[in-house]
């Protein structure tokens, strides 16, 4: 059973909207209905980022979306970008400001949304903690059209299950995750733990109070340290970690 999360309170409402996705289809042609779906979900994602950073800068952001209909073409791009082993589905390059996704079926829209999140984050905050960047991208990749025909963010049950089991096995080190830089993410064996736990952190914060994510984003943009942010918003990292572990008990 799917559970959706209400994030409408993150929105910064603006009348203007001209953000555009530029699709480059390699080895196939994207169906018109799939393109329309991606654009609708991306528009919702843009609104969320507008709310996080209290601006409308993302409305006019041009995002280049390279979609590959064949494994061999995508593998060639992975090899060129030295991304082999770190992803089998897609990546965003902050250098070229383009995202690359293997698109074999409709569910691959999740990967597109994940990488669009990275593009939007880089547009607003170029120096971002990796756990915040990846955790939010994991959270937003589960945007779908709900029963009311509007976009909604759904819970990722597999991540929640992973975090609960890791917590029960006393395998969580939240302090190290929050204080870590990019180095742990360069080890392929760490990735399942890092992605799931980063998602778990974002999910926990949003469930606690959706406005906290926006406050964190703005404080990061102001150059505040992680220690300072968690001290102000949660009473410190240790207190946050304690609450986190209690939630996932």
Given this model, what pLDDT does residue 7 score? 57
How confident is the model over 32-59, as a mean pLDDT? 93
Given this model, what pLDDT does residue 80 score? 87
Total residue length of the chain:
249
Percent of the chain at pLDDT > 70 equals 92
Residue pair 172/245 in contact (Cβ under 8 Å)? The answer is yes
- Of residues 81 and 41, more confidence is placed in 41
How confident is the model over 175-180, as a mean pLDDT? 96
Q: What mean pLDDT is reported for the chain?
A: 91
Q: What is the dihedral of CA 56, 59, 62, 67, to 10 degrees?
A: 120
Domain spans of the chain? 4-247
Give 32-36 contacts, CB < 8 A, sequence gap 24+: 34/106, 34/109
Q: Are strands 20-26 and 62-68 parallel, antiparallel or unpaired?
A: parallel
Q: Above 70 in pLDDT, residue 33?
A: yes
**Could you read off the pLDDT of 71-87 as tens digits, one per residue?**
999 999 998 877 777 78
Given this model, what pLDDT does residue 193 score? 97
Given this model, what pLDDT does residue 86 score? 77
Q: How confident is the model at residue 19 (pLDDT cuts 50, 70, 90)?
A: low
Q: CB-side exposure of 88: number of CA atoms within 13 Å?
A: 3
Q: How confident is the model at residue 220 (pLDDT cuts 50, 70, 90)?
A: very high
User: 21-35, 77-91, 180-194 — which is least confidently predicted?
Assistant: 77-91
Given this model, what pLDDT does residue 169 score? 97
How confident is the model over 154-182, as a mean pLDDT? 96
Given this model, what pLDDT does residue 63 score? 94
Question: What pTM was estimated for this model as a whole?
Answer: 0.92
Given this model, what pLDDT does residue 8 score? 47
Interior CA angle at 92 toward 91 and 93, to 5°?
120
How confident is the model over 204-213, as a mean pLDDT? 95
Q: Above 50 in pLDDT, residue 15?
A: no
Instruction: Write out the E strands in 1-45.
Output: 4-5, 20-26
CA distance 116 to 46: 9
């Amino acid at each position: 059973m799917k559970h959706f999360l209400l994030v409408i309170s993150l929105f910064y409402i603006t009348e203007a909207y001209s953000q555009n996705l530029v699709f480059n289809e390699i080895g196939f042609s994207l169906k018109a209905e799939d393109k329309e779906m991606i654009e609708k979900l991306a528009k919702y994602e843009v609104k969320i980022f507008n709310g996080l950073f209290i601006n409308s800068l993302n409305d006019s952001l041009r995002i280049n979306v390279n979609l590959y209909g064949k494994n061999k073409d995508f593998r060639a791009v992975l090899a060129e970008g030295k991304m082999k082993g770190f992803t089998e589905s897609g990546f965003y390059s902050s250098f070229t400001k383009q995202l690359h996704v293997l698109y074999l079926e409709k569910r691959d829209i999740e990967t597109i949304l994940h990488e669009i999140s990275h593009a939007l984050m880089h547009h607003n905050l170029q120096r971002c903690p990796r756990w915040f960047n990846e955790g939010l991208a994991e959270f937003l990749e589960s945007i779908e059209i709900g029963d009311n025909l509007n976009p909604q963010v759904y819970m990722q049950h597999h991540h929640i299950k992973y975090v609960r089991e890791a917590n029960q096995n006393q395998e969580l080190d939240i302090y190290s995750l929050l204080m870590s830089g990019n180095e742990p993410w360069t080890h392929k064996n760490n990735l399942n733990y890092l992605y799931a736990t980063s998602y778990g952190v974002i999910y926990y914060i949003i469930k606690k109070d959706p406005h906290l994510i926006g406050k964190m984003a703005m404080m990061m943009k102001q150059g505040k340290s992680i220690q300072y942010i968690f001290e102000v918003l949660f009473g410190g990292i240790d207190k946050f970690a304690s609450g986190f572990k209690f939630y996932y008990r």
